[in-house]
């Protein structure tokens, strides 16, 4: 199947803490597809106003869905739009779209799902999980399903992937530290556990809503000498280029961070995230720790000190994570969608 002039329709659940990530992943694929001569459109509900604004501002088409997210009427309207517009495939991401929804769409058109968890039935032709711990044993799927698993499929924008990448040097001291978390209380714990007074600038994506616990932790960190610089998501790439290290409690930026080779400490929220942390530890790109909810403040302080004050360890982490992400994940995914007429056979059983 030629990629030129082919239409891919994207359907993303943009609600909650994972909503931004779901939309961003679809946008990376959509923009790469259009750069290759294809067409991309997003199916959106009326209440997905922010997503609609972002999509249209980037010159991508929007399809109105007038039905509750993930409902039977939603799948009917999406399928009707795909048929009427001659779409070659549909890409879906988000827990709102259940087994029945996916089965309805996949019965009539090639359907790809971007799925991190992998612990539910996904009756579609293509499943994408770029997590470091992705494993085919977690999946229950059709016999003709193609699985694209692991960091080889990390999504990095085309412009970033084309950058000439000089050898990153690890400074003896950290001047700019990137910190992000999808949970304000986790962010507060990290700030409270940072080592001795420092003139380090903390670059952060803290949420816009007010959280008294996080606000208090931020003020205390400033009182100890840290400087906090809050940035917009649209400037993350530029900010990361000049950061010396990162502390993250979310997997959402791991593709970009890995590609840039930034020494990174990944701290998990819960047992599911801990799989990613453990996998990175096995690769020598992270120090494994229990989920934050099971980690005492004293232990967290030790973990952060070991990472931030050990130059050789940071250098090792940066080099190891850079080996896992080569920036060609987007290209590989689109190539598999383009070859949708020749799916690989897996025949996996339930995990």
Which phi-psi region, left, alpha or beta, contains residue 183 (left: φ > 0; alpha: ψ -120 to 50)?
beta
Residues 183, 150 within the same domain:
no
| Contact criterion met (CB below 8 Å) for 258 and 250 | no
Residues 74, 106 within the same domain:
yes
pLDDT of residue 108: 95
pLDDT of residue 1: 44
In a domain, 304, yes or no: yes
Q: Per-residue confidence of the chain (351 residues) as pLDDT tens digits?
A: 445 689 999 999 999 878 888 999 999 999 999 999 999 999 999 899 999 999 999 999 999 999 999 999 999 999 999 999 999 999 999 999 999 999 999 999 999 999 977 678 899 999 999 989 888 888 888 888 999 999 999 999 988 888 776 566 666 789 999 998 878 888 899 999 998 777 899 999 876 557 899 999 999 999 999 999 999 888 888 889 889 999 988 667 888 999 999 999 988 877 667 888 888 888 899 987 788 888 999 999 999 999 999 999 999 999 999 999 999 999 999 999 998 743 333 333 333
From 69, 141, 163, 146, select the one nearest 350 (Cα to Cα): 141
Residues 136, 209 within the same domain:
no
pLDDT of residue 276: 84
Which H or E element spans position 8?
strand 7-12
d(CA 42, CA 55): 7
Residue 30, domain CATH: 3.40.50.11190
Residues 185, 261 within the same domain:
yes
Residues 222, 84 within the same domain:
no
Residues 203, 272 within the same domain:
yes
Q: Which residues form the domain of 148?
A: 7-156+328-338
d(CA 262, CA 203): 14
Residues 213, 311 within the same domain:
yes
pLDDT of residue 346: 37
In a domain, 344, yes or no: no
Residues 179, 246 within the same domain:
yes
Domain count, the chain: 2
Residues 148, 277 within the same domain:
no
Residues 270, 188 within the same domain:
yes
pLDDT of residue 343: 39
Inter-CA distances, 50 with 139, 206, 279, 306, Å: 32, 19, 35, 40
Residues 207, 235 within the same domain:
yes
pLDDT of residue 305: 93
Residue 209, domain CATH: 3.40.50.2000
Question: What is the value of pTM for the model shown?
Answer: 0.87
Query: 126 phi and psi, to 5 degrees?
Result: -140, 130
d(CA 271, CA 19): 21
| Contact criterion met (CB below 8 Å) for 85 and 9 | yes
In a domain, 346, yes or no: no
In a domain, 46, yes or no: yes
Q: For 1-15, what is each residue's pLDDT tens digit?
A: 445 689 999 999 999
From 203, 307, 327, select the one nearest 264 (Cα to Cα): 307
């Amino acid at each position: 199947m030629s990629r030129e002039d082919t239409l891919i329709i994207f359907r993303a659940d943009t609600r909650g803490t994972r909503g931004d990530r779901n939309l961003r992943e679809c946008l990376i694929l959509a923009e790469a597809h259009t750069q290759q001569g294809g067409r991309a459109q997003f199916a959106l509900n009326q209440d997905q106003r922010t997503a609609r604004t972002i999509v249209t501002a980037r010159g991508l088409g929007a399809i109105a869905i007038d039905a509750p997210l993930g409902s039977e009427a939603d799948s009917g309207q999406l399928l009707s739009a795909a048929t009427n517009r001659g779409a070659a495939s549909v890409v879906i991401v988000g827990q709102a779209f259940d087994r029945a929804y996916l089965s309805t769409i996949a019965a009539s058109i090639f359907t790809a799902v971007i799925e991190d968890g992998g612990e539910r039935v996904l009756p579609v032709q293509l499943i994408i999980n770029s997590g470091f711990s992705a494993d085919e044993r977690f999946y229950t799927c059709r016999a003709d399903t193609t699985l694209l698993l692991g960091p080889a499929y990390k999504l990095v924008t085309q412009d970033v992937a084309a950058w000439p990448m000089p050898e990153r040097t690890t400074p003896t001291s950290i001047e700019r530290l990137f910190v992000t978390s999808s949970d304000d209380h986790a962010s507060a714990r990290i700030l409270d556990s940072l080592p001795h007074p420092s003139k380090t600038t903390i670059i952060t994506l803290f949420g816009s809503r007010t959280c008294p616990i996080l606000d208090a932790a931020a003020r205390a960190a400033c009182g100890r000498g840290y400087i906090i610089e809050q940035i917009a998501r649209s400037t993350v790439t530029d900010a990361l280029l000049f950061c010396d290290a990162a502390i993250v409690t979310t997997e959402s930026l791991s593709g970009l961070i890995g590609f840039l080779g930034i020494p990174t400490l990944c701290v998990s929220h819960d047992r599911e995230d801990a799989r990613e942390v453990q996998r990175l530890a096995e690769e020598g790109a992270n120090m494994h720790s229990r989920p934050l909810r099971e980690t005492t403040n004293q232990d967290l302080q030790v973990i952060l000190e070991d990472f931030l004050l050990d130059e050789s360890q940071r250098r090792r982490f940066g080099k190891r994570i850079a080996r896992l992400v080569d920036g060609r994940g987007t290209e590989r995914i689109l190539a598999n969608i383009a070859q949708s007429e020749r799916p690989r056979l897996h025949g996996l059983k339930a995990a």
